[in-house]
């Protein structure tokens, strides 16, 4: 989360597009929430201003200048992988740069091609 936020030159985790939360109790461990690069992204389909476009290889690319901050994409993502930038009132969506992978000391996350 901290590595992702660093892409924006920010401290903390407010603009991270990857989050970790409890799966419900210590024994059940944790869940990594991050975009799974849908080939047919539901988040893109609900955007009323076409601010989201398909990314080659899966997922979406955000054009912030077209975004009106309606949050429809946040609710449309089936796995809850779109987060919210409260400061700019825009969604925070993974750009699949792979930066976080290099910083995970336990090799929990990796990049792979979607077939
Ligand atoms: S918050 Fe922005 S990107 Fe998301 S659906 Fe609304 S206009 Fe589109
Ligand atoms: S943000 Fe969610 S709905 Fe959109 S491409 Fe990623 S996983 Fe799919």
Tokens standing for residue 29: 């461990």
pLDDT in tens, the chain (115 residues): 888 888 777 777 888 999 998 888 778 888 999 999 999 999 999 999 999 999 999 999 999 999 999 999 999 999 999 999 999 999 999 999 998 999 888 888 888 877 6
Please list, in sequence order, all residues whose beta carbon lies within 8 angstroms of the beta carbon of residue 54, skipping any fewer than 6 positions away.
41, 44, 60, 61
Q: Rounded to two decimals, what is the model's pTM?
A: 0.89
How far, in Å, is the centroid of ligand 1 from the Cα of 80?
A: 14
| Nearest CA among 90, 82, 94, 113 for reference residue 3 | 94
Q: Among 31, 51, 54, 93, which is best to mutate for testing ligand 2, by the most ligand atoms less than 8 A from CB? A: 93
Measured in degrees and rounded to the nearest 5, phi and psi for residue 62 equal: -95, 130
The Cα 36–Cα 41 span in angstroms is 10
How far, in Å, is the centroid of ligand 2 from the Cα of 77?
A: 5
Nearest ligand to the CA atom of 78: 2
How far, in Å, is the centroid of ligand 2 from the Cα of 74?
A: 9
């Amino acid at each position: 989360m901290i590595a992702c936020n660093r892409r924006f030159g920010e401290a903390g985790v407010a603009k991270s597009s990857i989050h970790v939360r409890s799966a419900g109790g210590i024994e059940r461990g944790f869940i990594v929430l991050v975009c799974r690069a849908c080939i047919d992204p539901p988040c893109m389909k609900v955007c009323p201003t076409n601010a989201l476009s398909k990314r080659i290889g899966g997922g979406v690319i955000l054009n912030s200048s077209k975004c009106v901050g309606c949050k429809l994409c946040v609710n449309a993502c089936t796995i809850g992988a779109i987060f919210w930038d409260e400061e700019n009132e825009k969604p925070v969506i993974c750009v699949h740069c792979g930066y976080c992978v290099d910083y995970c000391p336990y090799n929990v996350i990796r990049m792979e091609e979607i077939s």
